[in-house]
Structure 1
Amino acid sequence: MSEILVAEGLTKHFPIRGGFPVKRTVGAVQAVDGIDLTVRSGEAFGLVGESGCGKSTTGRLLTRLLEPTAGRIRYRGQDITHASRKELAPIRSEIQMIFQDPYSSLNPRQTVGKIVSGPMEINGIAPPGGREARVRELLETVGLNPEHYNRFPHEFSGGQRQRIGVARALALEPKLIVADEPVSALDVSIQAQVVNLLQKLQRELDIAFLFIAHDLAVVRHFSQRVAVMYLGRIVEVGDRDDIYRRPRHPYTHALLSAVPETTGEGGSRERIRLAGDVPSPIDPPSGCRFRTRCWKARDLCATDTPPLVRADGSREGHLSACHFPEPPTVERDTEVVLDPALS
């Protein structure tokens, strides 16, 4: 399977300006800080982590809606890191985005037909049979009534609005779609419908997906490979089964321990409770950024940043950024609690 999108050392720091009377840069929010990421053609790749860890910023960097501070982005072998608007024009149609909030991502003054046909008009695409016929076809593809072509967004429910966003993303027949928490703003009863729709489209149209979410169950259902992000950095990458059954990084282990048991299987499972808050991205910890909340932290963790490499005993392609990776199991006998006084 060939690589469609590759990020190397991708970084985005947002400057903090202060001072009087002249505004000057007094610091930076290190939203994304040197991540490596590879999305393969036709695969569903999940990116998970806590709120504020930099997932959405990563998605906007990869679609070039934000200008990277440092690093490199390659799309199908072409370096697009600092490509101009003119240079990006030929590939804009191949990389699309589904936004988190279906209420604010649609123009309330435009009809559904205008919203979905907009990308075709901007790119000068005239499909066979006309744009209206293509829009009606797309609406049917995402499970909406083609007769709703002339309706406005306020006439639809949240789930239906997100389907309109999906139809808009499909209008230009993209090769890659970045879905930024596409179901987090929806009612739980509607989430499964939208996720199943995206999964169906991903398989049938052979579209590569970068699926950004904080819901581990949704990511497990949708994605083939998963990357775990913490405070601007990726701490673990691997196949879905490896990540969920044999997590190596303590943070991944803690995340999965919080997922409710739904299988009905017997036996006890470790419950890891992380005390304290996530450190500020303005002044993150030195070395490993998870060390202030990690029960395995040592002096080495404070001085050396752990590289994202294959851990001993892991399958090929399972990478972890930890000096002391977990054993390849999620089973433990005791509850681990990190005392706030130790952090």
Structure 2
Amino acid sequence: MSAEQTLTEPADAAPSSGKTLLEVNGLTKHFPVMGGFPFKRQVGAVQAVDGVTFNVQEGESLGLVGESGCGKSTTGRLLTRLLEPTGGSVKYLGQDITHATRKELAPIRSEIQMIFQDPYSSLNPRHTVGTIIAGPMEINNINPAGGRAARVKELLEIVGLSPEHYNRFPHEFSGGQRQRIGVARALALNPKLIIADEPVSALDVSIQAQVVNLLQGLQRDLGIAFVFIAHDLSIVRHFSQRVAVMYLGKIVEIAERDALYTRPRHPYTHALLSAAPDADPDNMSVERIRLTGDVPSPLNPPSGCRFRTRCWKAQEKCATEEPPLLQIGGNDPGHLTACHFPEDGDAAGKRSATVPAARTTED
């Protein structure tokens, strides 16, 4: 991998004002499952997101990680109001937008933008690059100084493309270039918050670092807050200042980047970090934690702690009481964990070989 294709050193974001930009409290999204005849009766609900709570400060980057199906992308779409929440609240700069109407959302839409996962399906193949990037400005009736065309060409340069690409169509670009076009479209309205839904997972590994470095530079230079959704732990560690870990629709741990990666408290976070590959083959200090069993169905999640069916520390209490997301100990302020029997943070990454392997318990 060339120098241009490697991640730069993690850098601090633009200084934050300490002002809360986004406040999420008990956010819930249940998708109804219809059955019976003639399929007009609800027989259940997929609990995709169930009681998610977190804040995002101005200029901050928050990483949202977890295995596939845990509700990360659904959470991102709820934050942008592409999906209607079932419960809970979302406040943007103190204004409750949970169930805001289209008219009420109009002045906020320009300040919250999204970068989608698939650069091939998120761009209209019938439109030129210029039309795609200028679209948000046209919809919001924004006429920048010098005209929209000049602004589009400026945005193309900002994301590392040539202004000459203005009249080309998406099929003429590679995946990485298409994602840069998506980034330019997200920047068109000068947003304060960008929801990046796995923005590099569909890209070739050789160009993932280029896009991540681009986003990091924009976040630092423009002071944009990010909610960075991903399953690649190394990229999240590089990009995000704080990290939230999701499992089966719930946040099980949230902390500052260094605290979470070096002193994880929740068993699931421990297992997730142990599964990340290490570039140093001689580093044997971290034992691989192998979880047995499958992730329970969100149609019928386990009672109490949702991770208990795969947790090696599960006890009777875990089945009867749902652990609240609380700060445990005073060493890491803001380090919240939802576990009745959290790991010893000082011994992170040094799990004894005598601990029994992760097991599956029956409901």
Per the shorter chain, which TM-score range? over 0.9
- Which residue of the partner structure matches residue 5 of structure 2? none
Q: Which runs of 4+ in 1 moved over 4 A?
A: 263-267, 340-343
Which shifted more, 325-334 or 282-291? 325-334
Coordinate RMSD, CA, aligned: 1.3
Number of corresponding residues = 343
- Which residue of the partner structure matches residue 244 of structure 1? 261
**1:21 & 1:194 partners in 2: Cα distance?**
48
**1:77 & 1:6 partners in 2: Cα distance?**
8
Amino acid at match of 1:330: G
Q: Does 1:309 align with 2:294?
A: no
Amino acid at match of 1:167: A
- Which residue of the partner structure matches residue 124 of structure 1? 141
- Which residue of the partner structure matches residue 136 of structure 1? 153
Distance 1:274 1:249, change over 3 A: same
Deviations 1:295-320 (A, max 9, x none): 00000000000000001244110000
**1:50 & 1:324 partners in 2: Cα distance?**
22
Q: Does 1:287 align with 2:287?
A: no
Native 8 Å contact 1:238 1:318 kept in 2 = yes
Residue 341 of structure 1: CA displacement?
Answer: 6.7
Equivalent runs, 1:1-343 vs 2, <5 Å: 1-21=18-38, 23-263=40-280, 266-328=283-345, 329-334=348-353, 336-340=356-360
Native 8 Å contact 2:24 2:53 kept in 1 = yes
Native 8 Å contact 1:73 1:80 kept in 2 = yes
Deviations 1:208-264 (A, max 9, x none): 000000110110010000000000000000000001000000000000011122256
TM-score norm. by structure 1 comes to: 0.98
**2:209 & 2:68 partners in 1: Cα distance?**
21
**2:329 & 2:65 partners in 1: Cα distance?**
23
Native 8 Å contact 1:93 1:174 kept in 2 = yes
Native 8 Å contact 1:272 1:336 kept in 2 = no
Which shifted more, 20-29 or 275-284? 20-29
For the residue of structure 2 that corresponds to 1:178, the secondary structure is strand
**1:239 & 1:265 partners in 2: Cα distance?**
28
For the residue of structure 2 that corresponds to 1:273, the secondary structure is coil
Distance 1:23 1:199, change over 3 A: same
**1:53 & 1:19 partners in 2: Cα distance?**
28
For the residue of structure 1 that corresponds to 2:201, the secondary structure is coil
**1:22 & 1:280 partners in 2: Cα distance?**
21
Which shifted more, 22-31 or 10-19? 22-31
Give me the identity figure in percent: 73
For the residue of structure 2 that corresponds to 1:179, the secondary structure is strand
For the residue of structure 1 that corresponds to 2:179, the secondary structure is helix
Residue 268 of structure 1: CA displacement?
Answer: 2.5
**2:81 & 2:333 partners in 1: Cα distance?**
30
For the residue of structure 2 that corresponds to 1:300, the secondary structure is helix
- Which residue of the partner structure matches residue 6 of structure 2? none
Distance 1:314 1:289, change over 3 A: farther
Native 8 Å contact 1:5 1:75 kept in 2 = yes
**2:323 & 2:75 partners in 1: Cα distance?**
20
Native 8 Å contact 2:311 2:359 kept in 1 = no
Amino acid at match of 1:338: A
